[in-house]
Amino acid sequence: MTKTREERVYLDTSAYLAILLGEHGSQAALRALSKRVPCSSSLLLIETERNLVRLSREKILSSSDYRKSMDQVREDREKFLFRDFTVDLCLTGSFPAVKIPRSSDLAHLRTALWFQQNGGLQLFMTFDEAQRDAAVDLGLSIWP
């Protein structure tokens, strides 16, 4: 009997935050993640923490919701397959033709490409339109 390879879904920070905060479309994203392995760059953690602190300071997120969200991030960290953004991903020359992304977005794209080339990647999940266009341009299969 052959073992089936687990399907991987790459989440950028916009997708993870949308799910974490229960934004529009998050339930469909959770269904797409069902029985799949979430993966991302380790940058997701610092970007998520930064955004949660910002939302808390701007009083968009209550102190209680901030603590609950951070607890959830710590719990989710154990469920993810992370790849550190290391020097080997910095000078790959991989750029989408549509538009040059911000550095953090490019880091996510290059990390997703690494996953695709090293064990496979079924979907790239983002809630950011420009990031979606860039992912398509680089040949990533996007959700939805």
For residue range 35-85, list pLDDT tens digits in order: 999 999 999 999 999 999 999 999 999 999 999 999 999 999 999 999 999
Residue type, 46: I
| Prediction pTM value | 0.93
Interacting residues of 114 by C-beta distance below 8 A, sequence separation 6+: 83, 89
Say which CATH class 8-143 falls into: alpha beta
Write out the DSSP string of 47-62. HHHHHHHHHHHTTSS-
pLDDT of residue 4: 52
Question: How does residue 139 score in pLDDT terms, banded at 50, 70 and 90?
Answer: very high
Give the tens place of pLDDT for each residue, 76-135: 999 999 999 999 999 999 999 988 999 999 999 999 999 999 999 999 999 999 999 999
CA distance 80 to 11: 10
CA distance 71 to 37: 20
The answer to whether the beta carbons of residues 29 and 1 sit under 8 Å apart is no
pLDDT of residue 5: 72
